[in-house]
Structures are given as structure tokens and as C-alpha cells.
Amino acid sequence: MRGARSPSSVKLSWRMLWRDWRGGELQMLAAALLIAVTSVTAVGFFVDRVERGLQYQAAELIAADLVLSASKRIRPRFEQQARKRGLRTAHISQFRSVAVAGERLQLVEVKAVSAHYPLRGTLRSATAAYVTDRPAEGIPARGRAWVQPRLLQALGLRVGERFQLGESQFTITRVLTYEPDPGGDLFSVAPRLLINLDDLPATRLIQAGALVNYRLLIAGDAPAVAALRDELALQLRPGETLLGVQDGRPELRAALERAQRFLGLAALISALLAGVAIATAARRFARRHLDTSAILRCLGAGQSLVIRAFSLEMLWLALLASSVGVLGGLLTQSLIARLLEHLLLAELPPPSWRPLLGGYATGVILLLGFALPPLLALRHVPPLRVLRRNATGPDARTWQVYSGVLLAMATLLYWQLGDARLVLYVMAGMLATVGLLGVAARGLILLLGRLRARVGVAWRFGLANIARRPGASVLQIVAFGLAIMVLLLLSSVRDDLLRDWRRSLPPNAPNHFLINVQPDQVAGMRAFFAAQGAGAPQLHPLVRARLTRVNEHPVSSEDYPDERAKHLVTREFNLSWADQPQADNRIVAGHWWTAEEHGRPLLSLESGLAETLGIKLHDTLGFEVNGRRLTFTVSSLRQVEWDSFNVNFFTLVPPGVLDTQPASYITSLYLDATQKRRLGELVKQFPNVTVIDIEAIMNRVRGIMDRVIEAVEFIFLFTLAAGLAVLYAAIQANQDERRYESAVLRTLGARRAVLWRGLVAEFLTLGALSGLLAGLAATALAWVLAEQVFHFDYRFNPRVALIGIVAGMVIVGSAGVLGTRSVLSRPPALSLRQGG
Amino acid sequence: MEAPSSENSVQALGLGMQVRTGEGPLVILDDINFCIAAGSSVALLGASGSGKTTLLGLLAGLDRPSAGRVLVHGRDLEALDEDGRAQLRAENIGFVFQNFQLLHGLTAQENVMLPLELAGVEHPRAQAAEFLARVGLERRLGHYPNQLSGGEQQRCAIARAFAARPTVLIADEPTGNLDAQTGARIIELLFELNRAQGATLIMATHDEALAGHCRERLLLQAGRLV
Ligand SMILES: Nc1ncnc2c1ncn2[C@@H]1O[C@H](COP(=O)(O)OP(=O)(O)OP(=O)(O)O)[C@@H](O)[C@H]1O
Ligand SMILES: [Mg+2]
């Protein structure tokens, strides 16, 4: 019998949707939902595009989207396969050789490149050593060479002069200041020179047995590249490897990861705030539908029909609002993208469809999750309510339902962010904040009660309003508090966070590396810089070593499926020693050695590398150091802030272990433009020392930071909108009671001015309370974020609480009074007629 | 729709209602027994607070008694679950409230359509219009409750109560909120519909004159029938 009726629930729900819409019951829910979906989708699309744009930037680091690197000439079929997929290609042949100029010889790294190199990023060059550079066009013409400034020093040449390479003569036409793909080892000793690939045969340098690295650069559409990558991976022979975009420099990887976290956080806060707005609006909706539910039941609707009808009504609303929201998101992101195109990235890749799905999922989950629980409680409304107004059923087992909601949200967010820890932190932070806000709000309301006796009539009325509905007031304060907290986070605290991030790479961060300093030159080097006024650089010893065994198993790159791991495990390790960890290192497992442990074969490993290679604490690593085999036990794992650009090492050992090994020293330091010009003197005084200028790479990290900060600021505008929705919903929350009460009071003879002042008093008080709590919460949250997630030093700023109070009073006060103006302007008769 | 399957349309067997209050248990209804024949009309009389509303609520299955049973067309309400009772109401019982209980967001016509929609009736809109015409509201179809006078609201509520053609009509002081003249017209309307549809009418009232129109009368005093 009941089954026969079930189709009517669909019809009934549509009717309810239409009638509620007409009655103005759904607008607030729909608006909150719209903001949520629009912002989440816009953020989703935008983050997606920016992420892919940044990925694209990261592609510059290998000058391509994909690189096939081989020790033998690249088989032509690979290039054909790439071309078939419509991808662009270029070739590099790189090898070591000797450049000759008169009497002088210099080991050089020759990079012979074909037209269209680089496929991603640009070369930069200058007309002389250490002068301002600019983007270079094309590649060196036949017979021409572009060289690193170090080569000029080494050969005693200037731009325009010639040198011999193999059997060919080359004219130096430009100084090479920046290659997108320096590749491999930053500390490589040989200066690089760039020639045209067509000149290579004539040099006769490429002969059987020559150690040449051949690289095929590939770039184009991401899906085509991915497909090609999969295709090529199956055809690789020993000696051939594929390099993807992820394999860039650790400094940039760190910056990008942090950038994603910032953007992700912005999306997260918007979504959660919108949820709060929806929950607030839904609570009101549910209360206004107690009668509907009771009458439906009295007229013979079963519980299940009531649930079905309300659930379906919400589902329709979710789908409709999400469709509009998704469209809005799509429009908005294209607007932002156009707005930021010049600021952000030269060219943003088109949006993918994934965020669309995310938008719908967000809409449905938010509405069903946050709005349904209070509505489901309607099924418990006893039909008896039609006889006795106050008869309400048990409150929904709201907590059970909400934990389901949180779980659903966490899943959704995880899907969006892909960072379980971040999701966990923010969810826990949010819950703790809401809980604490609630408890604190309740306490403050109790205190208010005592104040009531000592104030004038308007204030007494206002304060009474707050104290009379403690539950609703707590909810309102929590909602206001959350909104203001986010506004505060967005203003002052965000600035602090972003400034701190920028500060982590200050303008005077080290921009030069000096390598290959001999032990007997250390003192002289220090004296040189002291005389220059550049301070005393910290010199770190390093000994080159090869990893041969992990836990007594011989190491082979075949053991590692991961390409990055393959690459890392076979390259040379730089072992250094120190008695203290550097300031930007954090021990995440094990402990740093004590003075008694100096001289013991212990090793501190960078945690990222440990993870990639699957090495754990207490594992043993066998290294070959100058022909000798040494075994170390991993005694600590270290997290390194690579984007600080300090000299850092993947592997550190205690002092007294490698001291007898032949070591060279390395340092990083900041040189300004004037000091930079004196580098010539330094090179003269210490001819074997190699100077590496990393200014260019640092500027790129700074560029990424600046762009991400701009993007984050823009995205936070949506969070702002969500915050305003929460405010609005919270003000609407007890509009009905307020309307009825004020009508009754006016009937009893209260003048409008008194009621108006009462409203002002109520909202000013609510604003001050929630602002105070919000200020404290914002500071705490910023501290947690800074310390735990972003690893900045955050300084507590007590002013934020004060700003919170003032902001709360102004915002909530004005919004509240404006939002409830209609309560006083409506004739009381109208309010009374509609009932409470 | 089920036809009245027994001569007795509503039966109370040892009905009791007791609620817990701050000052201990409070007996509202005590050992109520009666039997109402199908198609009859009954006036439920009693002072304010004597338990009339409570009793009507129990008869309609809106609440559950703490003792005893209610049979509607021989079916024991206690044997039904919440949804079962709702179903029974949808098919058999119409209710008219002292304070009308119209939904404010819906027009007069939509209010009357509600029970028809719930019963899955075809063309609820036309039928609702017909019922509203019978109570003289044919020109107020699109009006919202707050645009109707008290008497008009009550007529609308009556139209809603009759719309699903119930076999039992329960009215709780249907004229309590109305002036004498309007009240009299409402009562006329109720009896007219009672006769036309052969529905059992159970009506709580203070009004002796009104009770005189009814075939039977039940008098409640402090929760007991006398
Ligand atoms: N849930 C309850 N808790 C406590 N007392 C209740 C409850 N429900 C009803 N009562 C009490 O039971 C008594 C009967 O109430 P009821 O509403 O049935 O009276 P009534 O006869 O309809 O009165 P009136 O003519 O004023 O409408 C009243 O004293 C009322 O206060
Ligand atoms: Mg009553």
C-alpha cells in the first residue's frame, strides 16, 4: 500500500520546492549554496589551472615536458612517435671536452642543441660577463658559442674572441647567464658552453667510446605527453631513462608544494565556511517547517514520506543551485584567469573537467550533509504539535549525522587537496574552534545575565534577547565568530603568513655558491670576504661518495621503480659533517649526535630522500669514499627547507669520521651588485675555486611565490563571500522570533525607538563577543598553521583580539541592524497574523 | 479507500492518559469507554482543561494513550506503527482545529490540495477548488491564510478536512475562535457535509446549543466521562 504511494513523494517534493521557493524559504539556502559552489568551483578550476601552469613552469627546469635521456644516440623511432602525437621535439648532446685558447686549456661541458631548444622556458644571455642579461633568441648560429662567464675567466677570453673545440673554431658571441635546464649537478666543476648541434660532427669529438649524454626533449599537450610517456616507458633499453616534470630542483619543488598548500587552504576555508552558512540557514528552514511536518503527518503522511519529500526537495535544490554555481564558477575563473594572465603566468592551460565534478559533489554533499540533518529531525515532530504548539520531537541525533557530514567533507577535501595531514589539521582546528567558541560563548552569555540589572531599558531588552535564547545565541556567536575569524585571518594574519613566507627567502638570501675550496684556502677565503665586508661565510666540508649498499644489499637502480629514486641512487652523494644541524633543518626522527657520538659512523639523512629511497631510521648505508668502503647507521632523519637556499646536504655525518678524507669546501653567500664585480679578484686569488651564480633560479622561486600570493589573495575573496554568507545566515537565523516578539512588544506599547536601540544593543554585544572570540581563535589558528603546516615562526599579535572586537561590533552591529530593519518597519499586525 | 467495515466507527476501550510533570504524575484522562456508530454525530462537552483536546488527539492517533485502546473501524490504533496510523488518518480521518492550522506559505487551494496529494488523488487542484466552492471560498482560491478572516480560514480548514472524504471527522472547538453568527454557519457546514458524505462527526465544544444538534453527547469532567 505504502509502496504504491511512493511515486508521489517525487511529485510532492517538487511541489514543496516550488512552494518554498515562492514563499522565500529557500533563497538563503540557495544563496549560501551558490556562493559555496561558485567559490569552490572557481577555486577548483583556478587552482587546477594554476597548478598545471606551475607544473608547466616546472617543465622549464628540464626545458621540456618530457626528456628521454640516453647514453647512446636516441633511436629515431622515439622522435617519430612523439611527432605522431603532435608533440614538439628538440635534441641535446652533452659531453665533456677541453676548450683551448692559446696556452690555456679548460675542461668544459659542451651542450650542443638543435633548433627550438629550449621547448619550455627561455635562455638568458648577456653581452659581457657579470652585466645585465636578457632573454636570448634562438640558439647559437653555426660557428658561434655562448659560454658561461666562468669559461671566460678560465680561458682569459672576452666576448668576440675565439677558442678551439676539437677540430673546430668557435667565436664567443654571448655570455650564457641562465639555462632553464642546468641539469644534473649544480656543483659540476666544468663551465658550460652552448653550440649549435649542426656544428658537432665537424668537431670530430663524438667518436666511439665518447661519454655523451643524448637527450630528446618533448613538449606539447599534457594528455599526449602522458600517453607518450607510458608508451616510451615500455620500450626503454638499459641506458635510456625518462625524465618528467617532477624531477626538477628541490628548491623549486619545495616552493611549488608550499604554493599548492596555500591554494588548497583557501579552497578548504571557503568550503567549510559555506557549510556553516548552509547549516545556519537550514536550521531556520527546519524550524519554520515544524508545522508543515506536523500538519503533513496529521493529514496522514507517514514518517518515511516526510523524510523522502524533504530529502528530495533538498536534492533538487542542491542540483539546481550547483548547476548555477558551477556555471558561475566557470565564468568567475575565466575572469580571474584573464585578470591574472599577465601577472601570473604567461599562459594558463585551459581548465580541466575535474573541478566541475567537484563543484557538484560539493553542492550535493554540503546541502545534503549540512541541511538534511535538521530536516531529518522533522520526521520526529509528533503530529500532536497541531494540538499543542510546543510539542516537538526529540532533537535529531544531530551529532551522529554531523560526524557523517564531517567524514563526507573530509573525503571531499582530501579528494581536492590530496593532503591528509592538512585536511586533518583544518578539520580538527575547525572542530576545536567551534567547540571552544561554543563553550566560551555560553560562558560570556552567563556573564551578560548579571550585567542586565545595571543597564538602561534598551540595553536590558537587547541583552535579554541574547540571554533568553542561550542556545540560539551560542550558535549565532559561533557563526559570527567563524566569519569574523576568517575575515581576520584574511586580513592581518594572512599578511603575516605571506610576509613570513616571503621572508623565508629574503632579498639577501645567499645568491652565490663557492665550491671546490681546498682545506688550506678556508682561512684565506674567510679573510677575503671579511675585507669585502660580506661577513664571514660558513664553509662546509664535503666528500664525494657513491652509495653502494643499503642494509648490506648492493644498490642497483633496477631496484627502484621510481625514476627519481633511480636517478638519486646512482648519482654522487656529497657527504658533509657538522657538529650542529643548520637552523633550517628539523630532526623528524631519531636524534642529532651528541658530543660523545662524534667520530662514530652515524648518518643523518634528509627525510624526503629517505622516503624516496625507502630508507628508515637505523638502516645501514654503505658508501664508497675514495675507493674505501664505509658503513654508516642512519641515526636521524632531517627535514630540510630547501627553498631557503642555504647550503644543505642530503647526507650528514658527525665530525671526526671523514676528517682524514680529501675534502673540498663549499659555501653560499649573498653578494650585491658591487661585490659581484669583485668576483674576478677572488677567482684570481683562488683560481681553482668555482663560483656559481644562483640568482636566476632564486628569482624564479621568488617569482613563483609572488604569483602564488597574488592568486591566494584573489581566491580569498571567495572565502570572504562565504564569510559574508555566514554572517547573513546567522542574522536571519532568529528573524522570525524577533519579528513576532517585536510585534507583541509594539502591541504592548513599546516605542520603535526603544526596540531599535535594543536591536543595536543586541547586535553590538553579539559582535563584541564573537569578535573577541574570533580574534583569539584567529591568532591561535594562524599560529598552528604557521608552526605546523607552513613552518614559519609566527609571532603572537595581541592586537588581533582587539581588532576582532572592533570589527565584530562594526560588522555585526551594522549588518545586524540593517538586516533586521524590516522587523521594525513591518506593521505589527502583519507579524502577528502569521503567528510565531 | 476502505469502506466502514463495522457499525462502530470509533471506539474507546479503557482509555487513560497520564503525563509526568514536575510535581509527579498528572492524570488527564481516566478509564474512558464509549462506542460511536458510523455516521453518527457526537458532541464532546466539558469545562476547559477537562481533557477534550487530549481525547480527540488520541482518537485521531496523534498521540498514544498510556492505557487502553482506540479502535477506528474496528482497527486497533495501538497495533499500528506511526506510519500505519498516518495511513489510517490519510484514508479515514479529517481533523478541524480550534486554531485552524493552515500552512502560511500555501494558498487556500494548496492547503486543501495537501490531503488529496498525500492520498495520491488525481487532479487534486480541481477537487480542491470544488471543496472550497462548497464552503463558499470559490473566489479566494489563490489567497494566503493571512489574507483570510478567521471564519474564512476555518472554512478553508473544513474544506481541507473533508477533501479526502474521511469517514470520521474530528473537530476541536471549530467555532471557538469565531463570532456566534460565523460559528453557526460553520456548524451548519459541518453537519451538511456530515450528512452528505455520511461521515461520523465528533466535535468538542463548550456550547450547549451546539451540542443539541448532535445525536449523542459525551460529557468530560476532570478526565472522566459522566
Ligand atoms: N503534555 C502535557 N503535560 C502536562 N499537562 C498536560 C499535557 N497535555 C495536557 N495537559 C493537561 O491536561 C489537561 C487537559 O488538557 P486539554 O487540552 O485536553 O483540555 P481541554 O479540555 O481541551 O481544554 P480547553 O477547553 O481549554 O481546550 C489540562 O489541564 C492540560 O494542562
Ligand atoms: Mg482544547
Assess whether pLDDT exceeds 80 at residue A705. Answer: no
Rounded Cα distance, B131 and B137, in Å: 9
pLDDT per position as a tens digit, B181-226: 877 888 888 888 788 888 899 999 888 878 888 899 999 998 899 8
Is the Cβ atom of B168 under 6 angstroms away from ligand 1? no
Assess whether pLDDT exceeds 50 at residue A414. Answer: yes
pLDDT per position as a tens digit, A346-359: 456 677 777 888 88
Å between B209 CA and nearest CA of chain A: 25
CA A288 – ligand 2 centroid, Å: 24
pLDDT per position as a tens digit, A620-635: 999 988 888 899 999 9
Sign of CA dihedral A326, A329, A335, A340: negative
Output the 3-class SS for A16-77: HHHHHHHCCCCHHHHHHHHHHHHHHHHHHHHHHHHHHHHHHHHHHHHCCCEEEEECCCCCHH
Q: What's the whole-number mean pLDDT along residues A501-521?
A: 77
Assess whether pLDDT exceeds 70 at residue A172. Answer: yes
Is the Cβ atom of B48 under 6 angstroms away from ligand 1? yes
Å between A6 CA and nearest CA of chain B: 9
A575 φ, ψ to 5°? -90, 130
Q: Which residue has the cell 633511480?
A: A566
Q: What's the whole-number mean pLDDT along residues A207-212?
A: 72
Among the ranges A338-342, A527-531, A597-601, which has the highest mean pLDDT value? A597-601
Q: What's the whole-number mean pLDDT along residues A372-392?
A: 74
Cβ atoms of A702 and A505 within 8 Å: the answer is yes
Assess whether pLDDT exceeds 70 at residue A402. Answer: no
Å between A743 CA and nearest CA of chain B: 15
Q: Report DSSP state, residue B63.
A: S
Q: Identify which of B213, B116, B126 has the alpha carbon closest to the alpha carbon of residue B161.
A: B116
Cβ distance of A300 and B88 shorter than 8 Å: yes
pLDDT grade, residue A143 (50/70/90)?
very high
pLDDT score for A571:
67
Q: What's the whole-number mean pLDDT along residues B165-178?
A: 85
Q: Identify which of A162, A180, A178 has the alpha carbon closest to the alpha carbon of residue A170.
A: A162
Mutation for A interface: B88, B118, B131, B158, most A CBs within 10 A: B118
Following CA atoms A428, A433, A439, A442 in sequence, which dihedral angle do they give, to the nearest 10 degrees? -140
pLDDT score for B85:
83
Q: Where are the alpha helices (DSSP H) in A289-302?
A: 290-298
pLDDT score for B98:
80
pLDDT per position as a tens digit, A1-52: 333 444 478 888 888 888 888 877 788 888 888 877 887 787 777 767 766 6
pLDDT grade, residue A316 (50/70/90)?
very high
> What percentage of chain A exceeds 90 in pLDDT?
11
Q: What's the whole-number mean pLDDT along residues A510-518?
A: 80
- List all residues 6 or more positions away from A214 whose beta carbon is below 8 Å from its beta carbon: A69, A70, A71, A72, A73, A74, A91, A92, A93
Cβ atoms of A263 and A711 within 8 Å: the answer is yes
pLDDT score for A631:
92
pLDDT score for A261:
64
Q: What's the whole-number mean pLDDT along residues A142-171?
A: 91
CA B49 – ligand 1 centroid, Å: 5
Is the Cβ atom of B109 under 6 angstroms away from ligand 1? no
What the block records as the C-alpha cell of A430 is 575547525
A398 φ, ψ to 5°? -55, -40
Q: Which atom of ligand 1 is nearest to the CA of A387?
A: 17
Among the ranges A425-429, A465-469, A477-481, which has the highest mean pLDDT value? A477-481
Q: What's the whole-number mean pLDDT along residues A388-410?
A: 62
Which residue of B lies nearest to A303 if distances are taken between CA atoms? B83
Among candidates A22, A300, A833 on the partner chain, residue whose Cβ is nearest the Cβ of B86:
A300
Q: What's the whole-number mean pLDDT along residues A507-522?
A: 80
Cβ atoms of A127 and A142 within 8 Å: the answer is no
Assess whether pLDDT exceeds 70 at residue A700. Answer: no
Q: What is chain B's mean pLDDT, rounded?
A: 86
Checking A307-312 for CB contacts under 8 A at 24+ apart, the result is: A307/A376, A307/A379, A308/A6, A308/A9, A308/A13, A309/A9, A309/A12, A309/A13, A309/A16, A310/A13, A310/A16, A310/A372, A310/A375, A310/A376, A310/A378, A311/A13, A311/A368, A311/A372, A311/A375, A311/A376, A312/A9, A312/A10, A312/A13, A312/A14
Cβ distance of B103 and A25 shorter than 8 Å: no
pLDDT grade, residue A81 (50/70/90)?
very high
- List all residues 6 or more positions away from A60 whose beta carbon is below 8 Å from its beta carbon: A118, A120, A121, A180, A181
Helix axes A470-488, A695-732, angle to 10 degrees: 160
Q: Report DSSP state, residue A666.
A: E
> Cα separations (Å) of A624 from A339, A548, A553, A567, A653?
55, 6, 14, 18, 14
Count Cα atoms within 13 angstroms, Cβ side, for A812.
Answer: 35
Q: What's the whole-number mean pLDDT along residues A202-217?
A: 83
Q: Identify which of A313, A304, A268, A269 has the alpha carbon closest to the alpha carbon of residue A29.
A: A313
Is the Cβ atom of B54 under 6 angstroms away from ligand 1? yes
pLDDT grade, residue A344 (50/70/90)?
very low
Assess whether pLDDT exceeds 50 at residue A184. Answer: no
Nearest CA to ligand 1 atom 7: B19
Rounded Cα distance, A767 and A633, in Å: 59
Q: What is chain A's mean pLDDT, rounded?
A: 79
Q: What is the ipTM of this complex?
A: 0.77
pLDDT score for A390:
61
pLDDT score for A248:
46
pLDDT score for A5:
44
Rounded Cα distance, A777 and A769, in Å: 12
Rounded Cα distance, A37 and A528, in Å: 61
If one compares A255 and B204, the residue with the highest pLDDT of the two is B204
Q: Judge whether B89 is closer than 8 Å to chain A, CB to CB.
A: yes
Count Cα atoms within 13 angstroms, Cβ side, for A39.
Answer: 31
Q: Identify which of A822, A651, A622, A632 has the alpha carbon closest to the alpha carbon of residue A738.
A: A822
Rounded Cα distance, A89 and A120, in Å: 11
With contacts defined as CB-CB under 8 Å, which chain B residues touch A20? 105
Q: Judge whether B166 is closer than 8 Å to chain A, CB to CB.
A: no
CA B46 – ligand 2 centroid, Å: 10
Assess whether pLDDT exceeds 60 at residue A188. Answer: no
- List all residues 6 or more positions away from A833 whose beta carbon is below 8 Å from its beta carbon: B146
pLDDT grade, residue A329 (50/70/90)?
confident
3-state helix, strand, coil in chain B (%, to 5): 35, 30, 35
With contacts defined as CB-CB under 8 Å, which chain A residues touch B115? 299-300
pTM, rounded to two decimals: 0.65
pLDDT score for B203:
92
Nearest CA to ligand 1 atom 31: B49
Assess whether pLDDT exceeds 70 at residue A464. Answer: yes
Cβ distance of A12 and B117 shorter than 8 Å: yes
pLDDT per position as a tens digit, B85-129: 888 888 888 888 887 788 877 889 988 988 887 777 888 889 999
pLDDT per position as a tens digit, A730-757: 887 777 777 777 777 676 666 777 778 8
Range in A159-163, A322-326, A713-717 the model is least confident about: A713-717
Cβ distance of B83 and A292 shorter than 8 Å: no
Q: Identify which of A547, A515, A466, A513 has the alpha carbon closest to the alpha carbon of residue A695.
A: A513
pLDDT score for B176:
74
Ligand 1 mutation target, pool B17, B50, B177, B206, most atoms within 8 A of CB: B50
A and B: number of Cβ contacts within 8 A:
95
Rounded Cα distance, A36 and A355, in Å: 13
Rounded Cα distance, A834 and A391, in Å: 19
pLDDT score for A3:
39
> Cα separations (Å) of A119 from A60, A93, A179, A367?
8, 15, 12, 46
Q: What's the whole-number mean pLDDT along residues A360-368?
A: 83
With contacts defined as CB-CB under 8 Å, which chain B residues touch A300? 86-91, 93, 115, 118-119, 164
Strand partners, A111: A94, A194
Rounded Cα distance, A12 and B43, in Å: 36
Rounded Cα distance, B97 and B212, in Å: 21
B102 φ, ψ to 5°? -90, 155
What the block records as the C-alpha cell of A170 is 668557435
Strand partners, A164: A100, A169
Is the Cβ atom of B51 under 6 angstroms away from ligand 1? yes
- Buried b / exposed e along A442-462 (16+ C-beta atoms within 10 A): bebbeebeeeeeeeeebbbbb
Q: What's the whole-number mean pLDDT along residues B32-55?
A: 91
Cβ distance of B106 and A19 shorter than 8 Å: yes
Is the Cβ atom of B108 under 6 angstroms away from ligand 1? no
> What percentage of chain B exceeds 70 in pLDDT?
97
Rounded Cα distance, A641 and A584, in Å: 6
